[in-house]
């Protein structure tokens, strides 16, 4: 019978900073149907077993974005993650607060850092004062213009992407997937007058730290696909401003490098991206690599049919085209 | 079994031990690797950042080369796998297709979308099969605890690549178990190696790589293994700087996937280019291959 109750071992992260000396995992066991969401299990535990268990939630319908947490390491909405498959795969359900944000208590995190990054991209329309919106109604957009948003307006700001992101974890300069997906939404909005400024600013404010690992896209409960919109932002930023940062320099250098021989010349690429001066700092370790892998320094042979690539570039790449 | 072999740039240059060991495994399993000197670089995700349509066109050209020979493409790099697969997908968008065809048709290249793109890991698990792998094992990797490290572009975006679970895959672990090794499960196995920003901000890239290595180590791994030469650069070649950034000793041997397969099949370490790694694989190899009396 598909709905028959199963035993679900649950390990919940418990910590009250300032009171508890260290975080711990508290073990519970509940009998529920396999389709029961993790959120319902936590609420059942709180109602029946432990009223001190702290968590954030509201709508229970994947609309409000309040109940994001880590469930068996995956950043997800607890209200739409059934326990059955988790128990099948892991034998238990380990519940932890979202990563990359300080814990307030148990499963509740301080979303301050996440929202500050959001504020910094100025997530509101900047209308050109010379062309104000006609009184009483916004400028209408064509369906094609709306399509350029992709699914970014669906974002519910749950921060699951922020929790899943390894660049956020490693570098405070990275604004995070959600803020960048929002930025994209304003950059492609035909009513926004600050597109150019936005693109220029973001190049120096962490855009190029995205790893394109797509962990945000997997974590997103609304299929916003932040990693793909960040890619779009990078191409738009290069088009708007050219190559100003090491990130954009590297992307464009790679593109040119490929055209050169059809295959990658590793040493040349490093030179193009870092510049000779920038390479000096890397020298000791580069020499260690060179000793083991001397090919790094040599020019690889060109591929056959390189002229085909030249024609493709001429047709599709403005910078290298006629 | 016969494939259009797409080794990718790194396996032909700084990571040629990967090419070497792939060829060893292919010989052992009777997989024919057909070479195409016309294949170009896949763009490695960087060309995609600079010009998406150009990136699709470059890879549509690669795909067309394999199509003309009636072969599927075999990759040995998670990033090549991702770029070639995504090019196929983007070519199903009529607007992208029109632009790319507009560049390919005048030079006599026709893309049809008839060749599939697959990775060595998939071929071993799905086409060769774990039973056939087990039958070939001469020197089980027993006693060796290995943390598989997948590489993002083999798994994600999952709805586009349509293979394993993007956050809880098991093909690599299944293969390691078939070779006699003990797979180590740790969260870092599906995380990023940091490579894409190695040239943008090396210290951040190093911290990211170091975290995954440390995660594997803390879960008891004696060694890591990866199906991606770019991950290998981050995890092996740049392990020393990562160690300094984390201020934690790592000393983690990192194998290329086919190196471990070949070792289990009885290859000698010196046939597999292990001496080219920055972090010695010696301690790990010693665990599986005690010196013969």
pLDDT in tens, A34-61: 999 999 999 999 999 999 999 999 999 9
Q: How many CB pairs under 8 A join A and B?
A: 196
* B40/A250 Cβ within 8 A: no
> What DSSP element (H or E) covers A108?
strand A108-109
CATH number of the domain at A112-241, out of 1.10.1520.10, 1.10.1060.10, 3.40.50.1450, 3.40.50.10860? 1.10.1060.10
Using the predicted structure, report yes or no on whether residue A135 has a pLDDT greater than 60. yes
* A215/B152 Cβ within 8 A: yes
Q: Quickly state the pLDDT bin for A136 (edges 50, 70, 90).
A: low
Mean pLDDT across chain A = 92
Chain A residues whose beta carbon lies within 8 Å of the beta carbon of residue B13: 264, 266, 293, 295-296, 298, 300
For A47-97, the pLDDT digits (tens) are 999 999 999 999 999 999 999 999 999 999 999 999 999 999 999 999 999
Q: State mean pLDDT over B178-188.
A: 97
Distances (CA, A) of B187 to A219, B45, B184: 14, 24, 10
For A206-253, the pLDDT digits (tens) are 999 999 999 999 999 999 999 999 999 999 999 998 888 889 999 999
* A287 CB within 8 Å of a chain B CB: no
User: What does the pLDDT read at residue A156?
Assistant: 98
Q: How big is chain B by its Cα radius of gyration, in Å?
A: 19
Least confident among A147-161, A267-281, B20-34: A267-281
User: What does the pLDDT read at residue A273?
Assistant: 79
User: What does the pLDDT read at residue A322?
Assistant: 43
Q: State mean pLDDT over A265-290.
A: 79
Select the residue from B11, B38, B50 to test the A interface by mutation, using most A Cβ atoms within 10 A: B50
Closest among B70, B102, B100, B9 to A267, alpha carbons compared:
B9
* A315/B103 Cβ within 8 A: yes
User: What does the pLDDT read at residue A285?
Assistant: 85
Chain B residues whose beta carbon lies within 8 Å of the beta carbon of residue A274: 199
* B89 CB within 8 Å of a chain A CB: no
Q: Where in chain A is the domain with CATH 3.10.20.30?
A: 6-109
* A262/B40 Cβ within 8 A: yes
Say how far apart CA A71 and CA A213 lie, in whole Å.
Answer: 20
Closest among B152, B70, B181, B78 to B116, alpha carbons compared:
B70
Q: How many CB atoms lie within 10 A of CB A153?
A: 12
Q: How big is chain A by its Cα radius of gyration, in Å?
A: 25
User: What does the pLDDT read at residue A321?
Assistant: 47
Q: Where are the beta strands (DSSP E) in chain B?
A: 2-6, 32-35, 73-75, 117-119, 145-148, 182-183, 223-226, 254-256
* B10 CB within 8 Å of a chain A CB: yes
Architecture of domain A6-109: Roll (3.10)
* B37/A209 Cβ within 8 A: no
* A316/B54 Cβ within 8 A: yes
Q: How many CB atoms lie within 10 A of CB A148?
A: 15
Chain B residues whose beta carbon lies within 8 Å of the beta carbon of residue A235: 49-52
Site of tokens 């991206």: A273
Mean pLDDT across chain B = 96
Q: Quickly state the pLDDT bin for B293 (edges 50, 70, 90).
A: very low
ipTM, two decimals: 0.95
Using the predicted structure, report yes or no on whether residue A130 has a pLDDT greater than 90. no
Say how far apart CA A26 and CA A116 lie, in whole Å.
Answer: 32
* DSSP class of A71: E
Q: Quickly state the pLDDT bin for B292 (edges 50, 70, 90).
A: very low
* B200 CB within 8 Å of a chain A CB: yes
Beta-bridged to residue A10, according to DSSP, are A28, A93
* A238/B103 Cβ within 8 A: no
User: What does the pLDDT read at residue A100?
Assistant: 97
User: What does the pLDDT read at residue B140?
Assistant: 95
B122 or A270: whose pLDDT is higher?
A: B122
Say how far apart CA A138 and CA A126 lie, in whole Å.
Answer: 13
For B215-230, the pLDDT digits (tens) are 999 999 999 999 999 9
For B28-76, the pLDDT digits (tens) are 999 999 999 999 999 999 999 999 999 999 999 999 999 999 999 999 9
- What percent of chain A lies above the pLDDT cut of 90? 79
pTM: 0.95
Q: Where in chain A is the domain with CATH 1.10.1060.10?
A: 112-241
User: What does the pLDDT read at residue A129?
Assistant: 77
User: What does the pLDDT read at residue A320?
Assistant: 63
* A263/B12 Cβ within 8 A: yes
């Amino acid at each position: 019978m598909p709905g028959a109750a199963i035993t679900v071992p649950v390990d919940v992260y418990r910590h009250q900073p300032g009171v508890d000396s260290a975080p711990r995992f508290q073990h519970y066991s509940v009998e529920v149907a396999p389709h029961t969401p993790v959120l319902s299990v936590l609420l059942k535990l709180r109602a029946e077993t432990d009223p001190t268990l702290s968590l954030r939630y509201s709508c229970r319908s994947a609309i409000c974005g309040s109940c994001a947490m880590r469930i068996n390491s995956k950043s997800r909405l607890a209200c739409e993650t059934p326990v059955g498959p988790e128990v099948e795969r892991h034998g238990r359900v380990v519940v932890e607060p979202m990563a990359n944000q300080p814990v307030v208590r148990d499963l509740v995190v301080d979303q301050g850092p996440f929202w500050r990054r959001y504020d910094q991209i100025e997530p509101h329309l900047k209308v050109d004062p010379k062309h104000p919106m006609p009184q009483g109604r916004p400028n209408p957009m064509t369906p094609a213009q709306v399509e350029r948003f992709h699914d970014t307006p669906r974002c519910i700001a749950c921060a699951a992407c922020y929790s899943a992101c390894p660049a956020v974890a490693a570098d405070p300069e990275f604004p995070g997937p959600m803020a960048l997906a929002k930025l994209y939404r304003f950059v492609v909005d035909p009513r926004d007058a600050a597109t150019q400024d936005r693109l220029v600013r973001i190049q120096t404010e962490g855009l190029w730290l995205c790893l394109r690992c797509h962990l945000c896209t997997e974590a997103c409960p609304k299929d916003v696909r932040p990693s793909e919109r960040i890619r779009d932002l990078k191409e738009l930023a290069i088009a708007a401003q050219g190559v100003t940062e090491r990130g954009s320099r590297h992307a464009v250098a790679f593109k040119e490098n490929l055209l050169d021989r059809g295959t990658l010349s590793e040493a040349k690429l490093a030179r193009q991206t870092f510049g000779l001066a920038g390479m000096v700092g890397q020298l000791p370790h580069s020499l260690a690599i060179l000793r083991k892998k001397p090919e790094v320094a040599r020019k690889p042979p060109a591929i056959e049919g390189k002229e085909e690539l030249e024609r493709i570039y001429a047709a599709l790449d403005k910078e290298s085209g006629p | 079994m016969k494939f259009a072999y797409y080794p990718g740039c790194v396996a032909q240059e700084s990571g040629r031990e990967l090419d070497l060991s792939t060829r060893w495994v292919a010989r052992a399993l009777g997989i024919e690797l057909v070479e195409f000197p016309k294949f170009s670089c896949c763009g490695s995700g960087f060309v995609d950042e600079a010009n998406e349509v150009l990136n699709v066109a470059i890879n549509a050209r690669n795909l067309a080369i394999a199509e003309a020979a009636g072969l599927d493409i075999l990759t040995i790099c998670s990033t090549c796998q991702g770029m070639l697969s995504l090019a196929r997908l983007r070519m199903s968008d009529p607007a992208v297709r029109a632009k790319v065809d507009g560049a390919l048709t005048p030079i006599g290249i026709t893309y049809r979308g008839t060749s599939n793109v697959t990775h060595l890991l998939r071929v071993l698990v799905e086409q060769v099969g774990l039973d056939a792998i087990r039958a070939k094992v001469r020197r089980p990797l027993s006693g060796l605890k290995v943390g598989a490290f997948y590489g993002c572009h083999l798994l994600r975006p999952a709805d586009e690549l349509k293979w394993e679970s993007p956050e809880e895959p098991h093909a690599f672990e299944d293969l390691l178990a078939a070779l006699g090794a003990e797979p180590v499960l740790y969260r870092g196995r599906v995380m990023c190696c940091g490579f894409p920003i190695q040239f943008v901000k090396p210290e951040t890239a190093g911290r990211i790589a170091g975290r995954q290595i440390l995660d594997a180590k803390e879960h008891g791994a004696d060694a890591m293994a990866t199906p991606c030469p770019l991950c290998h650069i981050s995890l092996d070649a740049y392990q020393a700087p990562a160690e300094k950034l984390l201020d934690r000793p790592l000393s983690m041997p990192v194998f290329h996937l086919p190196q471990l397969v070949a070792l289990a099949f009885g290859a000698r370490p010196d046939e597999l280019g292990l001496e080219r790694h920055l972090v010695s694989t010696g301690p790990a190899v010693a665990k599986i291959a005690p010196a013969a009396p």
